[in-house]
Amino acid sequence: MKTSIPQLTKLSAWQALEAHFQKVKDLQLRKLFMDDPKRGESMTAEAIGIYFDYSKHRITNETIRLLLQLAEESGLRSRINAMFRGEKINVTENRAVLHVALRAPKGESILSDGEDVVLQVHAVLDKMAKFSLQVRDSGWKGHTGKPIKNIINIGIGGSDLGPVMAYEALRHYSQRELTFRFVSNIDGTDFAEATMDLDAEETLFIISSKTFTTLETMTNAHTARDWLLKTLKNPAAVAKHFVAVSTNSGEVAKFGIDTANMFEFWDWVGGRYSMDSAIGLSTMIAIGPENFRAMLDGFHQMDEHFRTAQFERNLPVLMGLLSLWYNNFFGVQTMAVLPYEQYLKRFPAYLQQLTMESNGKHVKLDGTKVDYQTGPIYWGEPGTNGQHSFYQMIHQGTKLIPCDFIGFVQPLNSLGRHHDLLLANMFAQAEALAFGKTSQEVLAECTPEWLLPHKTFEGNRPSSTILLERLTPEALGKLIALYEHSVFTQGVIWEIDSFDQWGVELGKALAERIIPELETGADLQLKHDSSTNNLIRRYKRSRELLNG
Ligand code: G6Q
């Protein structure tokens, strides 16, 4: 652990970066590229099939050198090793953080509390594979003997965002005869719309919940059971139409799911790091065990790269350091993630949880408050849709918003000119952001003078471009692990626990208090603040009037 490491802002690399920032903050990308015609080639890194161009960042070689020094001084290397060794680096929950074990190949050994977790991982993967093949080959029959055609994953947060994103991302590889839906919200509309057109006899529910106590998931699971039994009448049907993914066999059994149909995972897998555990069961049914294993292999390749590569060529480290550079020195608040790949449409939503639940913390591992900024806001949409929406602000707004452009060389659906047009747009956006358009250039187009300020682009707006060959399961694994480890890199430097999420607890607890207050018709002595009291009364009064 880092107890011997001085406070972040006192590190010599940090102080050198502060001084360096004053020197380089006004540097223009136009000039940097003019001064070094090879910048676009030299400021790149490539590993395991990912090409990473970071030349369009407001940095010099010295910036990178100092950022790398910061990583060293922060003890990143030893924290990486501690994670891979299964040490309890999730300090506030006293847990190991071993999502890397979920993709370790058979035969490798990682110990947690004296047990080889890789063995356990592969036993579950084999069980998932057997079940997935049964569903895919129509061998798994519903209660009335009909094969399963619809799979509904019920889960929320880490038990939903990964599966949805992966299903969408890998839809190209999915078994098209099967329908996949994802229900997460406690808003009944989510369940109602997901099941409206489905035949209960052909529907399988996967209840995905690490704890099996989450309000949203358990409410939806009970609603699903009622929905099923409305058609199938017999409670024995539950065994054929419900399986569980959980760490809590007691609660699974209590719900009525045969624990033989429970797919296990472990407390050393954080929710938002669990999509490649049994939480990915829906993904495996969709794309098949072989593709799922290819995805795990992609994750593992990135894990190995992160664990072994020198920091100056280490993609997650470079990416994390660049994010930190803007966050802590330029005072940047947000980062945009812009995949030029329609199948990645849920990737930004997935990353929002990964990045913000992990690094949205203001207290350090030792319990003291940080005196610097931590995790930025991540957001985005796939290109080119975003271009016709919020890109205006990225180009000409008052906020600096570094962007990650993500593209693939080969399309999965090759249609005429589409793919070249798509990629042309991606390259053009990064170019436009970096180099802008000067007023002289605008003037040369015979623009009236009064319009000049509006049509000028200042440029100097940074971006990374991440280029891969093709969106395969393996490539998706690499991409996700890239962001996972970039988040970890930043969390280590900020000295925060990237693996807990205490910030979600208070709202949950308060909701538990308000639920009975809403569910009773009586006018209670409410003990909240005057706004909350008033809103509760107003809601109940209106509900009474509307419901008659
Ligand atoms: C993720 C969080 C959180 C969690 C959900 C669902 O890292 O822990 O998003 O995944 O709250 O929890 P369960 O899987 O226990 O239902």
CB under 8 A, 24+ apart: contacts of 226-229 = 227/191, 227/195, 227/200, 228/200, 228/203
Atom of ligand 1 nearest to the CA of 217: 16
C-alpha dist (Å) from residue 108 to 28, 104, 119, 206, 280 = 48, 6, 8, 30, 21
Both structure tokens of 45 = 């890194």
**Contact status, residue 95 vs residue 88, Cβ threshold 8 Å:** yes
Among 31, 106, 233, 508, the active-site one is: 508
Residue closest via CA to ligand 1's atom 8 equals 271
Among 31, 388, 399, 418, the active-site one is: 388
**Contact status, residue 224 vs residue 154, Cβ threshold 8 Å:** yes
Among 168, 201, 341, 357, the active-site one is: 357
**What confidence score (pLDDT) does residue 4 get?**
63
Nearest to 357 by CA among 493, 473, 255, 502: 502
Helices (H), 264-406: 281-287, 289-308, 315-325, 347-352, 358-359, 391-396
Ligand 1 midpoint to CA 449 (Å):
56
**What confidence score (pLDDT) does residue 6 get?**
74
Ligand 1 midpoint to CA 540 (Å):
30
* Per-residue model confidence as pLDDT tens for the chain (548 residues): 444 677 999 999 999 999 999 999 999 999 999 999 999 999 999 999 999 999 999 999 999 999 999 999 999 999 999 999 999 999 999 999 999 999 999 999 999 988 999 999 999 999 999 999 999 999 999 999 999 999 999 999 999 999 999 999 999 999 999 999 999 999 999 999 999 999 999 999 999 999 999 999 999 999 999 999 999 999 999 999 999 999 999 999 999 999 999 999 999 999 999 999 999 999 999 999 999 999 999 999 999 999 999 999 999 999 999 999 999 999 999 999 999 999 999 999 999 999 999 999 999 999 999 999 999 999 999 999 999 999 999 999 999 999 999 999 999 999 999 999 999 999 999 999 999 999 999 999 999 999 999 999 999 999 999 999 999 999 999 999 999 999 999 999 999 999 999 999 999 999 999 999 999 977 789 999 999 999 999 999 999 999 98
Question: Global pTM?
Answer: 0.97
CB under 8 A, 24+ apart: contacts of 382-388 = 382/338, 382/339, 382/340, 382/341, 382/342, 382/344, 382/345, 382/347, 382/348, 383/338, 383/339, 383/340, 383/422, 383/425, 383/426, 383/429, 384/340, 384/422, 384/425, 386/336, 386/338, 387/425, 387/429
Ligand 1 pocket test: pick from 251, 267, 272 the residue with the most ligand atoms within 8 Å of its Cβ. Answer: 272
Task: Let me know the angle formed at the C-alpha of 156 by 315 and 220, rounded to the nearest 5 degrees.
Answer: 165
Residue closest via CA to ligand 1's atom 11 equals 157
Both structure tokens of 492 = 């280590």
Query: Is there a catalytic annotation at residue 357?
Result: yes
Ligand 1 pocket test: pick from 93, 95, 156 the residue with the most ligand atoms within 8 Å of its Cβ. Answer: 156
**Contact status, residue 423 vs residue 431, Cβ threshold 8 Å:** no
**Contact status, residue 172 vs residue 343, Cβ threshold 8 Å:** yes
What is the rounded CA–CA span in Å between residue 73 and residue 441?
45
Query: Is there a catalytic annotation at residue 141?
Result: no
> Residue 271: CB within 6 Å of ligand 1?
yes
Query: Is there a catalytic annotation at residue 478?
Result: no
> Residue 159: CB within 6 Å of ligand 1?
yes
**Contact status, residue 340 vs residue 423, Cβ threshold 8 Å:** yes
Ligand 1 midpoint to CA 156 (Å):
6
